[in-house]
């Protein structure tokens, strides 16, 4: 149980400071200084200290359900090796994906409950985006699970002891990284919270405490997504190695997102169901024929 709490504390502090560093990196790309690295902590606590407006109980319940879903998934996530898996027998991939979508659907229900037309447009975009990146990701994960005949994350880690899945299944890793950027809502795919078009989409009606809670929920979901990718494709090792891989994946995603504009919603779907889906099926074919490198 202590490991689960350690997971939460690590997730909170690691991702918030990483987001501060990401703002610093993006600022450097834009030739300016950028805020201090702990700026996100101040933002979250300031948001928690404001008096919010509530839009009815559906709105409140949606926010709590979102936070609950992502906290639960963060607790289950193993950190790079058996020693650091909080619940060794229930960290199955399908359990994690199910709990994760519970969080996302909770947010969707809450935001639509706020009654703002911008929010409902943003939510319909977020759900189509989920549809977009989920398909190639699941095909790749199916091929990984089929290859190692197990769905529990920490066993997958031990199997790639000497050779990471990144090298044994390069196509799968690339597709997973592209859908990871979609999952995180980073730049080419931040259509759901596009400020210039739909006034920051679902987050239109979030004020004060709700905004702080949603920010924390976003951090936990970021932690879950990146650690899932690191565990499945970049093997494991001690906790230190896990953190190094976590940070590198995050920095690569931030650099890509700082120089790319946004897709339109139907372009995003065409993009995801085009090349990435084809690569995912190709990768599944290689795995079935046993041609993994």
Which residue is associated with the tokens 């074919």? 285
Asked if 265 is part of the footprint of other proteins (rule: CB under 8 A), the reply reads yes
**Dihedral angle over CA of 110, 71, 131, 166, nearest 10:** 160
**C-alpha angle 276/281/287, rounded to 5°?**
125
Decide whether 77 or 213 has the Cβ nearer to other proteins: 213
Contact 177, 133 (CB under 8 A): no
Least separation in angstroms between residue 210's CB and other proteins is: 9
Decide whether 86 or 122 has the Cβ nearer to other proteins: 122
Asked if 290 is part of the footprint of other proteins (rule: CB under 8 A), the reply reads no
Build a one-symbol-per-residue string for 42-61: x at contacts with other proteins by CB under 8 A, - elsewhere: xx-xx--xxxxx--------
Asked if 264 is part of the footprint of other proteins (rule: CB under 8 A), the reply reads yes
Asked if 222 is part of the footprint of other proteins (rule: CB under 8 A), the reply reads no
Build a one-symbol-per-residue string for 224-263: x at contacts with other proteins by CB under 8 A, - elsewhere: ----------------------------------xxxxxx
Helix ranges (H only) for 149-207 are 153-159, 165-168, 170-184, 195-198
Decide whether 39 or 158 has the Cβ nearer to other proteins: 39
Decide whether 100 or 272 has the Cβ nearer to other proteins: 272
Q: What are phi and psi of 92, to 5 degrees?
A: -80, 150
Asked if 31 is part of the footprint of other proteins (rule: CB under 8 A), the reply reads yes
Segment contacting other proteins by CB under 8 A, of 19-27, 73-81, 82-90, 143-151: 19-27
Those residues whose C-beta lies under 8 Å from the C-beta of residue 251, and which sit 6 or more positions away, are: 21, 22, 25
CA dist 22 to 18, 19, 96, 216, Å? 6, 5, 26, 16
Least separation in angstroms between residue 270's CB and other proteins is: 10
Decide whether 158 or 207 has the Cβ nearer to other proteins: 207
Asked if 17 is part of the footprint of other proteins (rule: CB under 8 A), the reply reads no
Asked if 84 is part of the footprint of other proteins (rule: CB under 8 A), the reply reads no
Q: Return the closest-CA partner of residue 280 out of 173, 128, 146, 120.
A: 173
**CA-to-CA distance for 96 and 89, rounded, in angstroms?**
12
Least separation in angstroms between residue 266's CB and other proteins is: 8
Site for other proteins in 161-190 (CB under 8 A): 187-188, 190
Q: Return the closest-CA partner of residue 226 out of 261, 192, 185, 193.
A: 185
Asked if 29 is part of the footprint of other proteins (rule: CB under 8 A), the reply reads yes
Asked if 129 is part of the footprint of other proteins (rule: CB under 8 A), the reply reads no
Question: Running DSSP on this structure, what letter comes out for residue 199?
Answer: T
Task: DSSP for 244-271, please give it.
Answer: HHHHHHHHHHHHHHHT--PPPHHHHHHH
Binding interface with other proteins (CB under 8 A): 23, 26-27, 29-36, 39, 42-43, 45-46, 49-53, 117-118, 120-121, 187-188, 190, 194-200, 203-208, 211, 258-265, 267
């Amino acid at each position: 149980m202590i490991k689960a709490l350690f997971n939460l504390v690590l997730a909170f502090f690691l991702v918030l400071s990483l987001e501060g560093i990401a703002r610093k990196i993006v600022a450097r790309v834009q030739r300016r200084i950028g805020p201090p690295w702990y700026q996100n902590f101040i933002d979250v606590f300031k948001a928690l200290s404001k008096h919010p407006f509530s839009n009815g109980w559906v709105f409140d319940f949606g926010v709590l359900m979102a936070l609950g879903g992502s906290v639960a998934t963060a607790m289950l996530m193993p950190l790079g090796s058996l020693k650091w898996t909080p619940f060794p027998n229930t960290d199955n991939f399908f359990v994690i994906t199910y709990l994760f979508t519970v969080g996302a659907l909770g947010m969707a229900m809450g935001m639509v409950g706020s009654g703002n037309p911008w929010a409902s447009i943003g939510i319909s975009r977020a759900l189509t985006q989920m549809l977009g990146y989920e398909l190639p990701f699941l095909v790749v994960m199916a091929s990984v699970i089929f290859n190692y005949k197990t769905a529990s994350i920490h066993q997958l880690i031990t199997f790639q002891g000497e050779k990471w899945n990144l090298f044994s299944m390069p196509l799968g890793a690339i597709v997973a990284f592209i859908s990871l950027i979609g999952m995180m809502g980073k730049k080419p795919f931040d259509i759901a919270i596009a400020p210039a078009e739909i006034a920051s989409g679902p987050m239109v009606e979030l004020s004060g405490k709700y905004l702080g809670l949603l920010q924390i929920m976003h951090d936990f979901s970021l932690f879950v997504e990146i650690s899932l990718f690191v565990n499945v494709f970049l093997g494991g090792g001690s906790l230190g190695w896990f953190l190094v891989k976590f940070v590198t994946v995050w920095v690569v995603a931030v650099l890509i997102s700082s120089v790319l504009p946004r897709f339109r919603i139907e372009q995003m779907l065409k993009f995801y169901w085009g090349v990435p889906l084809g690569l995912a099926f190709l990768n599944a074919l290689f795995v079935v024929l046993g041609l993994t490198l």
